[in-house]
């Protein structure tokens, strides 16, 4: 179909205890919510790929939501999608209402929008969905009134229409193995022509989980704990790197990646001996961290300075914080080693900024999912302020939290220049960056 296609994704916010309830005995409430989240993210990746493969302006992507407000969904899935709350009633009523609204669209002020030639409605628990199937569905509507994607449990994973028809969704025994059969009988009664797509599995019951085991996108579901990849950019950090890696531990679910930018001391050898994976990269903290993130195997990333020690239990704290999809990133409260009123004032000011403005800096240990990091394009290749720039983009996407537990970072910068002079230099860099001064010039001034 060459005209405008509106693709509707029906999904629920992945809150434990409210989603995939038939899988709670197998996965637990948190695991079932995590599965819902991963399945939906996989489908969103697929519909984005479908969108990119079609001519510009010929696809509209709409997420039909329930279980949370639009702000949470936008933080979770991104701002490039449209969002519409599902209507009232049972599943059939909500699907019928969504299709009718999509085929008679209006914007939020009630003004008419361009009417699509067809609507494709899909569920969010389809690991086998791919762009080719969506293209096949759109093409089938050129010669047919309806297209259906049969699910192997007797339901359907996709329905496509060119005209709204509430009768297709009435009197259906939703959640049973008769959904497809009943829908096809109604189509026959209406004298309409339907095309069938290849069948797919949806994931609703414990026995369905076997379909996911070969799929790398869902590997973390079958691990005791999802892996956390700790990324440490280094340059001549031999005096500190062993203590930092030791504090991280090499326990279950943690990998440590040291991205070395050309150290002239023993940093790479010491890091490798301590159990870290060592990458040799070109110099520049942004480049080093981006290369390590690309290599990381975990769904969670922690970017940590070589002179910063994490708090006890940091792994679980990070996993808990990122358990809510609306939390896009976070950091720890700043602690600076050493005594003195000035250092405590520096901590207080940094933590106040971090909490109130959701603007932590890199020395607080930045963490996020690898998915969010990739979607935002990683660190900008800047010679300075790369952490500030990334966090600014993150907080525009969603919530950036500051945890109560502190990291402990070395006081060497404050000792070398003095606490207040260091503070003034840092503020000058922020002001200059926001004013549009070239980062290269700021970096030269900072080094001086």
Rounded mean pLDDT for each run of 10 residues along the chain, 448 residues in total: 88 95 93 95 97 94 96 96 95 95 74 84 95 96 96 94 94 93 96 96 90 90 90 96 92 91 96 96 94 96 97 95 96 94 91 95 96 96 93 96 96 80 85 88 81
pLDDT of residue 1: 55
Q: Note whether 228 and 187 are same-domain residues.
A: no
pLDDT of residue 416: 78
Q: Note whether 61 and 173 are same-domain residues.
A: yes
**Of 164, 188, 218, which residue is a domain's last?**
218
Strand order in the sheet with 399-409: 277-280, 254-260, 228-234, 300-303, 366-369, 327-336, 399-409, 308-309
Domain span including residue 88:
5-218
Q: Are strands 156-161 and 146-150 parallel, antiparallel or unpaired?
A: antiparallel
Question: Contact, 57 vs 2, CB < 8 A?
Answer: no
**Of 218, 252, 271, which residue is a domain's last?**
218
Q: Note whether 69 and 190 are same-domain residues.
A: yes
Please state, as a whole number, how many other Cβ atoms lie within 10 Å of the Cβ of residue 332: 31
pLDDT of residue 165: 94
Q: Note whether 178 and 272 are same-domain residues.
A: no
pLDDT of residue 422: 82
pLDDT of residue 433: 86
pLDDT of residue 178: 95
Structure tokens at 6: 């509106």
Q: Note whether 132 and 265 are same-domain residues.
A: no
What is the C-alpha separation between 97 and 106, in angstroms, rounded? 14
Three-state secondary structure call for residue 446? helix
Confirm whether 422 is domain-assigned: no
- Matching residue, tokens 């509707």: 8
Q: What is the DSSP secondary structure assignment for residue 220, as one 8-state letter?
A: G
Confirm whether 426 is domain-assigned: no
Q: Note whether 147 and 201 are same-domain residues.
A: yes
Whose CA is closest to 276, among 231, 317, 217? 231
Confirm whether 290 is domain-assigned: yes
Q: Are strands 228-234 and 300-303 parallel, antiparallel or unpaired?
A: parallel
pLDDT of residue 421: 85
39-77: b (≥16 Cβ within 10 Å) or e? bbbbbbebbbebbeebeeeebbbbbbbeebeeebbbbbb
Q: Note whether 252 and 199 are same-domain residues.
A: no
pLDDT of residue 144: 96
Specify the number of domains making up the chain. 2
Q: Note whether 95 and 19 are same-domain residues.
A: yes
Name residue 60's beta-bridge partners.
Answer: 6
Q: Note whether 195 and 246 are same-domain residues.
A: no
Give whole-number Cα distances, 217 to 97, 119, 127, 245, in Å: 32, 28, 9, 28
**Of 177, 201, 218, which residue is a domain's last?**
218
Confirm whether 425 is domain-assigned: no
Q: Specify the CATH number for the domain of residue 333.
A: 3.90.550.10
Confirm whether 54 is domain-assigned: yes
403: Cβ contacts below 8 Å, ≥ 6 apart: 317, 321, 330, 331, 332, 333
Confirm whether 129 is domain-assigned: yes
Three-state secondary structure call for residue 251? coil
Confirm whether 421 is domain-assigned: no
Confirm whether 12 is domain-assigned: yes
Q: Note whether 264 and 291 are same-domain residues.
A: yes
Q: Note whether 340 and 311 are same-domain residues.
A: yes
Longest dimension (CA), the chain: 83
Q: Note whether 149 and 74 are same-domain residues.
A: yes
pLDDT of residue 300: 96
pLDDT of residue 444: 85
Give whole-number Cα distances, 376 to 60, 82, 290, 320, 448, in Å: 21, 18, 12, 22, 32
Three-state secondary structure call for residue 179? helix
């Amino acid at each position: 179909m060459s005209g405008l296609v509106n693709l509707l994704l029906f999904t629920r916010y992945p809150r434990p205890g409210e989603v995939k309830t038939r899988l709670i005995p197998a996965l637990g409430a948190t695991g079932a919510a995590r599965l819902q989240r991963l399945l939906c993210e996989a489908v969103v990746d697929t519909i984005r790929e479908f969108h990119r493969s079609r001519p510009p302006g010929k696809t509209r992507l709409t997420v039909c939501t329930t279980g949370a407000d639009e702000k949470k969904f936008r933080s979770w899935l991104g701002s490039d999608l449209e969002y519409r709350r599902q209507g009232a009633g049972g599943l059939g009523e909500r699907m019928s209402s969504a299709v009718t609204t999509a085929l008679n669209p209006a914007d939020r002020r009630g003004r008419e929008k361009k009417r699509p030639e067809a609507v494709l409605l899909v569920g969010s628990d389809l690991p086998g969905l791919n762009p080719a199937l969506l293209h096949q569905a759109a093409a089938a509507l050129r010669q047919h009134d309806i297209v259906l994607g049969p699910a192997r449990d007797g339901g359907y994973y996709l329905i496509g229409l060119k005209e709204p028809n509430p009768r297709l969704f009435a009197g259906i025994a939703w959640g049973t193995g008769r959904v497809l059969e009943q829908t096809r009988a109604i189509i026959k009664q209406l004298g309409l022509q339907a095309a069938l797509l290849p069948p797919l599995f949806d994931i609703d019951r414990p026995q369905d989980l076997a379909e996911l085991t070969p799929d790398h996108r869902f590997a973390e579901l079958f691990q005791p704990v999802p892996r956390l990849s700790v990324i440490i950019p280094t340059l001549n950090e031999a005096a500190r790197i062993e203590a930092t890696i030791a504090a991280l531990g090499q326990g279950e679910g943690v990998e440590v990646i040291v991205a070395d930018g050309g150290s002239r001391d023993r940093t790479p050898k010491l890091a490798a001996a301590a159990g870290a994976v060592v990458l040799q990269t070109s110099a520049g903290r942004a480049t080093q961290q981006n290369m390590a993130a690309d290599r990381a195997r975990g769904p969670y990333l922690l970017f940590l300075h070589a002179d910063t020690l994490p708090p006890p239990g940091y792994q679980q704290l990070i996993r808990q914080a990122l358990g809510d999809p609306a939390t896009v990133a976070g950091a720890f409260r700043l602690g600076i080693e050493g005594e003195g009123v000035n250092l405590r004032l520096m901590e207080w000011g940094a933590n106040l900024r971090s909490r109130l403005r959701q603007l932590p800096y890199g020395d607080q240990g930045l963490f996020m999912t690898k998915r969010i990091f990739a979607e935002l394009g990683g660190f900008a290749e800047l010679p300075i302020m790369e952490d500030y720039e990334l966090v600014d983009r993150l907080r525009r996407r969603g919530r950036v939290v500051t945890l109560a537990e502190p990291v402990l970072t070395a006081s060497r910068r404050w000792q070398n220049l003095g606490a207040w002079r260091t503070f003034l230099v840092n503020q000058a860099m922020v002001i200059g960056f926001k004013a549009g001064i070239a980062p290269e010039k700021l970096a030269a001034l900072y080094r001086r």
